[in-house]
Chains A and B, each alone.
Chain A
Amino acid sequence: EPEVTQTPSHQVTQMGQEVILRCVPISNHLYFYWYRQILGQKVEFLVSFYNNEISEKSEIFDDQFSVERPDGSNFTLKIRSTKLEDSAMYFCASSEYGGAGELFFGEGSRLTVL
């Protein structure tokens, strides 16, 4: 069964460092997303991406965050200068039809900022 894959599964970084989290969405999907889950809190929407541009972003997704689809398969989330409060599980998701049906998540990348 096709799945969304994410790397790395866990990354530890120093505050102020740049981090790139990578995702390979399901191959025929057109909509891509990043969500995050701070320990013990709700899963929160960060950004959606369609047709090579951001279609929606939350207030969490400030100038420190960026997304890119550098080639036909990868979808990346970059955090330019990490803060302690960026420590969370980051989930990538993809969907064939956007909000009209199934939205599949990856296993997540745990980011720990020290």
Chain B
Amino acid sequence: GEDVEQSLFLSVREGDSSVINCTYTDSSSTYLYWYKQEPGAGLQLLTYIFSNMDMKQDQRLTVLLNKKDKHLSLRIADTQTGDSAIYFCAETRNQGGKLIFGQGTELSVKP
């Protein structure tokens, strides 16, 4: 069945780059998403990529998609303490928009 996997924790120093990785199993995925969840808050859409793209850049965020390996990554340049949160990878395959989420990666940014 469909599955999305992420590592649970990542710790970086302020100013460094963070790379959060995600793997998925559904070769029919059409869109892949990154959401950010701060403590006690909802899911904030950061960025998304269509499956026929390899890369998407949006300010400090770079998304890389390797469709052959079913691997998605989110790079955050110049990571700040305000970037500390849980980052969820998600994918969808259907027009209806049902998303399958990973378990989330908790990013800790140390000053």
Contacts and interface: CB of A to CB of B under 8 A. Distances in A.
Interface of A: 31, 33, 35, 41-45, 48, 50, 55-56, 91, 93, 95, 98-108
Contacts of A93: 43
B82 interface: no
Interface of B: 30-31, 33, 35, 41-45, 48, 88, 90, 92-104
A50 B95 CA distance: 11
Contact of A43 (B43, B44, B92, B97): B43
Main secondary structure of the interface of B (DSSP, over half): loop
B45 A99 contact: no
Given A43-B43, A91-B43, A105-B42, A98 B97 contact: yes
Contacts of A33: 97-98
Nearest to A48: B96
A31 B41 CA distance: 22
Given A42-B102, A45-B98, A56-B98, A99 B93 contact: yes
Contacts of B98: 33, 45, 48, 56, 99
B45 A31 contact: no
22 contacts: A35-B99, A42-B103, A43-B43, A43-B88, A45-B99, A55-B96, A91-B43, A98-B94, A99-B92, A99-B93, A99-B94, A99-B95, A99-B96, A100-B31, A101-B31, A103-B45, A103-B99, A104-B45, A105-B43, A105-B45, A106-B42, A108-B41
